[in-house]
Every structure is written in structure tokens, then in C-alpha cells.
Amino acid sequence: MGWDTENDGELSPLEEAEQIVATYLASQPAPAGSIAVAPGQTYLTRKHILICLREHLNVADEEDVDVIFSVALGTFLPGEPLWCHLVKAPGGGKTEYLRMFSGPHVVSRDSITPRTLVSGLKGTTAKDDLYPRLNGKLFIVKDFGGILSGKRDDAKAIFSQLRAAYDGYMEGSWGSGIPDKSYYSRFGMMTGVTSAIDMNRNHEGILGERFMRLNLRGNRVAAIKSASEGEGHEDEVREKLRNIVAAFLAQAGEWIEKDVLVEQRFIDQLNALADIVSQLRTPVIRDHTHFIRVMPDAEVGTRLVKQSRKLAKALANWRGRSIVSMEDYLTVRRVALDGIQGIRRPVIDALQAADTVFGRVRPLSTKEIATLCSQPYNTVAELLEDLWLLHIIDREGTATNTWAFKDVSRDLLTRAIIDPSPEMISRVQVIP
């Protein structure tokens, strides 16, 4: 949906945004913090940002933009940081979103190595380390996939560092002649990555999930058309977007509401959401023969519930409210569900649809679920076994297994307002 820019001789939102950006640019170099707003001007808002983005980019879904900017606003709110992967196929637009973020509140890198945050090389000092300089800022990593496709030992080292960094404290000793180092620092983080990250879920799952995930929506035809029309103007467009985003973040510290109200009903829903999703996203570690070497222990949603509440508050701020609404909760729910491995989602959907259509009296067989999901039988059988080992579903039968949610899982799904898709319900309804 576009915005009407006709307003009877007054500045249109696009013109107003350009004026605010001009004020921001004229104030540079600005001190770290916020910029003054000229008399008669207003702060940049969601409306301004969306108009500017639609002017220059293919914005397939406004909710994508809502989450991206709310993660950025999370750096101004107290509590544990918001870290988020933006997931989309190559060329899908995630890098263009990440390139927008610049200015004194942002640190951006193409990728990171085991020595990016804190270096153990001889001759380096605290001034050379990036981690302490990230405190209170937004850290952008445009290609997180490079970590996953690199050396395995490097990936393990980076994930170990990120785990410590998320918790706000890092220390290291290298034996290379430089003193031991320790720092306190908290920062927000956004990365770009393809769905290949699902093949590396064990890295994050074993270490404990720190990242939320947003699967960007989009239309291939519209994306290609937009890219074609913008050919030759990329540098100009990117500069305009970087300027408006830098101005937005420079102002945000002045207007952001830190004490956003979360009503008890939403607290209850967020608690249930974190509980069930943390279980549903827990990886089950198998070797190359698909043999389970370690019995899985489902994640507890303590970290996810904090992230979800903070994201809800940031969304309320971004949308111009001081109280969390159902719209904010539904967006948080989407982000949480995006964190579940994509190949599991249809299986969960099929089990829920059976509950909706048949109640608790008609569990589904492995063959039926495989047919409903359009996935190979052996793949679905393994996915169902994983959910059973995590104590999310029940298994009945011997020669032919049937599956259904446990009562406690069913209750959490209901409380979190996680419903099956209409498409899957239609498929289940034709099962004899």
C-alpha cells in the first residue's frame, strides 16, 4: 500500500523527509547521540521511511521493514540485545536493506573472522579491537553465509565469540605476548544469509540460539523488474537511503519510549510462544548415517521470551504507540515461527490441521503426513521422530506409526494463537 503525497500545498511526506535529512546532513559531523530538529519540523517516522523505500526499492512486504527497523530501534531500549538474521535467496534484497544502515550509530562489515571482534595478534591494543567499540550500536554483517561456508574451526570460534558477545562480556588469553583482554559491550546485530543456514543449525542450536530470524517475503518478478528499472542509479539510491536511515537513527534517541506497556494478555501469549517455539526449533543432532549420538534436550525459552518482549516494544515504538498491540504480537509471532527449521514447518502444520479437522481422535500416519507435506517418506519419518524425541508429539502403533501433539504442546499452540494454514486444513479435510 502506498502513501498519498497530495496534501493541498503542504509538504508531502517525501518532501518532509528530504528536508529532515538535509537538516541532518547540515549538522554533520554530529556528536554521538541525536540531532536537533529544526523549528516547525517533525521527527522521521515509519511513514517517511516507507515512502522513501517505496520510492527507490522493491518493498514486497511492509512487515519486513517493520521488523528490520524495530531491530535497529532495539539498540535504544534496555535489556538483552536483538540479533536477527535476514534470510532470503541470493538477489532477494536482503543486502540492499542492510546497506541502508550507516552513520554514528552503525558499524558495518561484509563478513567477520575469528579476529574481527577481539584480536590476539602481536602489536594489537584495545584500540584495535572492534568489540568494545560496538557498545550501544547496531552491528551489520552483510554476508553471514561466508562464516558458514568457511573453515569449520573458524566457524566454531566465531560462534563461541558471538555467544559471549551476546551475553555482554568477552575475555581472551592467547599466549602470544600480548596481555589478556576483557571487555563489557552490548550491541544490536543484523546479518544477511541465505536459507543454507538451515544446514548449519547445529552450530547455533548447540551454543544456544542468539539470533532471531526473519524470512524476507518477496515476488521474483517484481524484484527483477525493480532491479532492471534501477540499473545505473544504484549508487545514488543507496546514498539517499543511507542518509535518511542515518538521520532516523540519530533522532531516535530523543523520541523513543523505553517504558512501553505490555498488557498481561500479551505477556501470557509471549510466554506461551517462547515456550513452544523454543522446543520446536531445537535441533536433533545426527551423524552422516542419521544415527542419533546424543539424546536431545529441548531448549528452554528464557532467552526467546526476552527477545520477543523487547521486539514487541520496539515494534510499538516504530509504529507510533506506547502500548503493545495485537498487530505487534502477530509480527513477533511471525519472527518466532521463522526461527523453526523450514523443513519442519509443514509437518507441524499438518499435525495442527489434523487437530483442527478431526479433534484428538484421529492421529495421522507417517505416510499421510508425507503426502500432505509433499515430502519424501523417509524425511518425514525422521522429522516426526525428532519431534517425538523432543517430547512434543506422541507416537502410537508399532508396524504403522501414527502421530499427534501432546496435550501440553497443543495447549501452548492454542495460547500462542498458532493456527494451521487454511491450505493444509483443506488438504486434511479430504483424507478418508
For the chain, domain boundaries: 8-60+218-256, 264-429
- pLDDT of 33 reads 36
- pLDDT of 378 reads 95
At a CB cut-off of 8 Å and minimum separation 6, what does 9 contact? Answer: none
The C-alpha atoms of residue 428 and residue 421 are separated, in whole angstroms, by 11
- pLDDT of 290 reads 87
The b-or-e profile of 127-140 (16+ CB within 10 A means b, else e) is eebbbbbbeebbbb
The C-alpha atoms of residue 213 and residue 267 are separated, in whole angstroms, by 21
- pLDDT of 218 reads 81
For the entire predicted model, the pTM comes to: 0.88
**Strand 169-172 to 364-365 pairing:** unpaired
pLDDT averaged per 10 residues in sequence order, the chain, 432 residues: 47 74 64 41 84 87 96 95 93 90 93 84 70 94 84 85 90 68 91 84 61 89 75 83 92 93 97 98 89 90 96 97 96 97 95 92 93 96 96 85 95 96 96 86
Q: For the chain, what is the largest distance between any 2 Cα atoms, rounded to a whole number of angstroms? A: 77
Contact 37, 53 (CB under 8 A): no
- pLDDT of 367 reads 95
The C-alpha atoms of residue 262 and residue 313 are separated, in whole angstroms, by 8
Q: State the architecture of 264-429 in CATH terms.
A: Orthogonal Bundle (1.10)
Tell which residue, 342, 341, 387, has the closest CA to residue 364: 387
At a CB cut-off of 8 Å and minimum separation 6, what does 336 contact? Answer: 212, 273, 274, 277, 304, 308
The C-alpha atoms of residue 262 and residue 335 are separated, in whole angstroms, by 18
Cell numbers given for 414: 492454542
Partners of residue 393 on adjacent β-strands: 405
